[in-house]
């Protein structure tokens, strides 16, 4: 599997003049989250890392969401926002954390017999 690197990691001067930054890590986190949520390898259809880099940088492709994915729509939207091409359009790491914490607070509490001691 190719490393889940942001497009700006592969271009001289970054994408639209943006260099590698915290937003590059946010992009990588989104690819890892996609893999965890889908149980699939991103870009498994490509056998060579250069093909993956071409798809990410030149074609602006991201791993597609499978037809059936149990991830809530809010999580999918967050992942999609995190892997936008322009780093300025991606949320900050702090914003990602806040959004995930808010989503966790909306989950129902587990039954008492499943609550850890």
Domains of the chain from N-terminus onward: 7-97 (1.10.510.10)
- The label of the residue with tokens 């914003």 reads 95
What distance in Å separates the CA atoms of residue 75 and residue 102, rounded to the nearest whole number? 11
Listed residue (94, 79, 100, 103) closest to 31, CA to CA: 79
| pLDDT tens series, the chain, 117 aa | 455 788 888 776 555 555 778 999 999 999 999 999 999 988 888 888 888 888 888 888 899 999 888 889 999 999 999 999 999 999 999 999 999 999 999 888 777 776 666
Report pLDDT for 18.
55
Q: How far is CA 94 from CA 28, 101, 108, in A?
A: 15, 11, 24
Contact 108, 37 (CB under 8 A): no
């Amino acid at each position: 599997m190719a490393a889940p690197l942001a497009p700006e990691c592969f271009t001289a001067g970054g994408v639209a003049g943006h260099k590698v930054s915290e937003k590059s890590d946010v992009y990588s986190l989104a690819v890892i989250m996609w893999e965890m949520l889908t149980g699939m390898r991103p870009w498994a259809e490509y056998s060579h890392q250069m093909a993956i880099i071409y798809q990410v940088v030149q074609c602006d492709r991201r791993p597609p969401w499978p037809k059936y994915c149990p991830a809530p729509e809010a999580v999918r939207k967050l992942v999609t926002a995190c892997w936008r091409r322009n780093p300025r359009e991606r949320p900050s790491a702090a914003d990602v954390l806040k959004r995930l914490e808010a989503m966790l607070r909306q989950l129902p509490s587990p039954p008492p017999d499943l609550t850890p001691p």
